A = this chain, B = another copy of it.
Amino acid sequence: MNIGEASKASKVSAKMIRYYEQIGLIPPADRTDSGYRAYTQDDVHRLHFIRRSRDLGFSVAEITDLLGLWNDKSRQSADVKRLAQQHIDELDRRIESMLEMAATLKALIRCCAGDERPDCPILHTLEQPDISDNKPEARTGAVPRRARANAAGKKPCAH
């Protein structure tokens, strides 16, 4: 099977298939005499597995581990469960941080007249006070993007 057919069958772009091979996520594909990559049904199966794991937000590094467990017939399901739980925890952290950002913005928007006048509490707030709370908390944590907006529950508009 050509890379194009494998791509269609696995829903992984040819570009990505080559990339996964390059970084060692999948073993080098067999080649035809003319240098074309040749894929088996099993290869497509593995690519599909990767694609579904990506759909669930697993990183390539995590998928490396998942593939290892997938191939390990003597695996312990506890290991798989632990990996999945770690990923869930990470997702929950990011969701929490984005919820806080959204809540802050929604509180600001609620106070903005949104008309033709220039006065705007959104800009005013971005300009003036410290948005971040001062909890040192788990700064070492793995949340990749900043997330220190206060939730700003339902404070009255300041203007």
Interface residues of A, Cβ cutoff 8 Å to B:
45, 49, 52-57, 66, 69-70, 72-78, 80-82, 84-85, 87-88, 91-92, 94-95, 98-99, 101-102, 104-106, 108-109, 112-120, 122-123, 126-127, 130-132, 145-149
A4 CB, nearest partner CB in chain B, Å: 20
Q: Could you name 22 residue pairs across A and B whose Cβ atoms are closer than 8 Å?
A: A49-B126, A53-B126, A54-B146, A55-B132, A56-B126, A74-B118, A75-B118, A76-B117, A77-B115, A77-B116, A77-B119, A78-B113, A78-B115, A78-B116, A80-B120, A81-B109, A82-B114, A84-B122, A88-B106, A88-B109, A91-B98, A92-B102
Since A80-B120, A81-B120, A92-B102 are in contact, a sample of 7 more A-B pairs with Cβ atoms closer than 8 Å, ordered by chain A residue number, is: A52-B130, A70-B127, A77-B120, A77-B122, A84-B122, A85-B109, A95-B99
Chain B residue at minimal CB-CB distance from A76: B116
Question: Quick one: closest B residue to A54, CB to CB?
Answer: B146
A105 x B126 contact (CB < 8 A): no
Contacts of A120 in B (CB 8 A): 69, 75, 77, 80-81
Chain B: which residue is nearest A83 at the CB level? B122
Q: With A49-B127, A70-B123, A112-B77 given, is the CB distance from A88 to B117 under 8 Å?
A: no
